[in-house]
Amino acid sequence: MKVVIGMSGGVDSSVVAILLKEQGYDVIGLFMRNWDTSVNGDFLGNPDLNNNICPQEQDYNDALKVCEKIGIPLHRVDFVKEYWDYVFTYFLDELKKGRTPNPDVMCNKYIKFDMFAKEASKLGCDFIATGHYAKMKDGQLCRAKDTNKDQTYFLSQVSREQLQNVLFPLGDLTKDEVRKIALDNGLITATKKDSTGICFIGERNFTKFLENYLPNTPGDIVDIDHNKVIGQHIGLMYYTIGQRRGLNIGGSKERMFVVGKDLNKNVLYISYGNTDYLISDSCIIDTINFNTDKRPVSCTAKFRYRQIDYDVSLEYLNDDEILVKYPEGVKAVTPGQACVLYDGEECLGGGIIKEVRKSGEKLWYL
């Protein structure tokens, strides 16, 4: 059986290649170029980079060395246009609405399990495989053994059809075990640092990056408890609900955090220690995706990655909206983020948070 692996140049996909080859598969590597890292030229002159090679090209070189070492071919495919159309444009549109998007969720939906799968089909492959920490059990997406690395949250928008013929070889391994396998096999990626942050921004400064695409619109920062202007923000798109750092309110050493945004007035609301503003008891989600036949009326949910599960009840408003209720209250549920639904170990799918409510009313400052 032939399998194509999404080779990222990191340790996880490198170990996937080793494991599947050891299991007897005919293994092919495929490197996806999803972003033109030279578009702003901001990697040039960075002393942390090897000979001014952009991070994406360095990742490709690492993937190539891994494939050469373990004896598998590596193909390369360019999805820059598709990524721009389906992921980056979505990211910018959500920011314009004052929301906090998760582009990695959409990258999985439109690129890694769609465009990539179509490319794998052209190569005559029976399966696709990735370095995600997740499991497939009897056709159902399930959490990984390593709960700290579990990535089912980011796979929640991948459809049931897209999950057919998908292999997640790391589902029963911890990150430490993965790195040991890479070390034992002498792979160049064995001690390579994990990528962090938004995929196309990487280690770059988020504010400077966005300035290339969206204009800054400074406005007032208002103390919501006293309805008092206490500073100036640099643009609502740079802030998210619950944020505590980077507010740059001169001279203040008090504990404060973002509790809301008013897009029409261009106002950022903060509170000094009053977490009541962050607590909601329900939200509406849209962009619904279920990868199972189950349509539960009660289950658990995560509203952010690595967050604990919360008990929720579901009210199906229409074909593409669900009212998610959590009467005990949850802090910092944020429009634009994914709400992911679980039944025990099974990831049922989820939706994107559209509206946040408390006591049946939409929170006016969100």
Band (55; pLDDT cuts 50, 70, 90) = confident
The reported pLDDT for the residue numbered 75 is 96
Please state which CATH class domain 278-362 belongs to: mainly beta
For residue 185, what pLDDT is reported?
A: 97
Mean pLDDT of 17-24: 97
pTM above 0.75, yes or no: yes
pLDDT value for 49:
46
Active centre residues (catalytic): 107, 199
Of the CA atoms within 13 Å of residue 343, those in its CB half-sphere come to 15
CA distances from 298 to 105, 139, 320, 323, 331 (A): 23, 22, 18, 12, 20
Residue boundaries of the structural domains of the chain? 2-184, 215-273, 278-362
Q: What is the CATH number of domain 215-273?
A: 2.30.30.280
Cβ neighbours for 15, distance < 8 A, ≥ 6 positions apart:
131, 169, 170, 173, 178, 181, 182, 187
Contact predicate 149/178, CB 8 Å: no
pLDDT at residue 197 in the model: 63
Distance CA 194, CA 190 (A): 10
Instruction: Give per-residue pLDDT as tens, 67-117.
Output: 999 999 999 999 999 999 999 999 999 999 999 999 999 999 999 999 999
CATH topology of domain 2-184: Rossmann fold (3.40.50)
The pLDDT, as a whole number, for residue 364 is: 83
Taking the C-alpha atoms of residue 243 and residue 245, their distance in angstroms, rounded to an integer, is 6
For 221-255, what is each residue's pLDDT tens digit? Answer: 999 999 999 999 999 999 999 998 888 776 666 78
Question: Cα angle vertex 124, ends 123, 129, to 5°?
Answer: 80
